[in-house]
Amino acid sequence: ATHGSRPSYISYMDMIARSTALASSSFAAAAAAAARGCRSSARQRHARAHARLENDTQIRHQRRRTRARATNVEDEDEFAIFRFTLGIPGFDDEDIPRAVGVLGAVGLCANHAAASASVIASGALERSETIGVGLCIACMLAPELGRRLKGAKGREKAIGEDVDGGASAVFALGEDESSSVKEDCAWATYAILTNTVATGVMFVSARGEVSVVRGTARGRDDGGVDASKSETLRRVTLAWTQATAASSAPTSPPSEYFPTRWDIDRVGANTWAFLPPAAEAIAVERAPAGGALLVWSDAARAFSRKDRAWFAALARKLDASTSASIA
């Protein structure tokens, strides 16, 4: 019996060993598969995190570049408005070369007197004094020559004072505009009137309302004076609306320039009820959002191509400022 049961016992033990080995191999395979799955999941998570990081980095860089471009445009516009002044009451900054010439002439005379008293004047000293006299004369004549080249600029008038038949000096800002819009409009119009030969400037927002009018503008038909700046803006806004409604062109070009009175009469701009009768040149610059900057002068061919490019930049800046306040 013992001999007969031994093979059965060995077969049973062998079966247990094989089952244990199979279970161990199955467990090892499952563990390996789980490890591979964990590593694959980890790699996928790492790849997704890396992709998100790269996407966020690209977005931040794009925003940075956008802000940099916007800042550069704003800085260029602000720099274009900047103007150096001494701020001396009663002294025109254009007369600075004349003052320098006078001071140079005084110094030249003092040097000549000192040299004559000490040594005998030489030929080199005489030549240098001749050159100095020429430079002093050129400095003293430079302001007048500059005014003649730029065109005659009318003297400044008080607000409401009659400038020419049917025109008066005005400065009106929209009362409903924000403080930043008022500041931009005030600085832009000041820069235009002081750096060019313009006698009047007006900006119309995308709403079709005049945000600012400054300089000389046509007065009321009855010869009276507007009771308030709001009334002036309403009157000028109505005149602009009538002028645009009377235009036969289906679309207006972004830039228009009428350099002479003949061009103004030819297009019918002489009927614009806000334009002073003495206007000889008009520049109109329209912004993409719908705003428009109008600049006029009583001198023919008053605005160069560079001036008009600057007007276009200011029109875009004011248009963006007023549109932002609306939003």
- Phi, psi angles (nearest 5°) of residue 294: -115, 130
> Angle between the 179-195 and 305-326 helix axes, to the nearest 10 degrees?
170
Which pLDDT tens digit goes with each residue over 33-67?
A: 666 666 666 677 767 776 777 776 677 666 666 55
Which pLDDT tens digit goes with each residue over 101-139?
A: 888 888 888 887 877 766 555 777 788 888 888 888 988
pLDDT higher than threshold 90 for residue 177: no
User: What is residue 104's three-state secondary structure?
Assistant: helix
Q: Write down the mean pLDDT value for the chain.
A: 76
- Stronger pLDDT, 117 or 82, i.e. the higher one: 117
Residue type, 154: G
**Element containing residue 320 per DSSP (H, E):** helix 305-326
CA 234 from chain centre, in angstroms, equals 27
Confidence at 74, pLDDT banded by 50, 70, 90 = very low
pLDDT higher than threshold 50 for residue 262: yes
Enter the CATH code of domain 162-326. Answer: 3.30.450.40
- For the chain, what percent of residues have pLDDT higher than 90? 15
Sequence ranges of the domains in the chain: 93-150, 162-326
- Phi, psi angles (nearest 5°) of residue 75: -65, -40
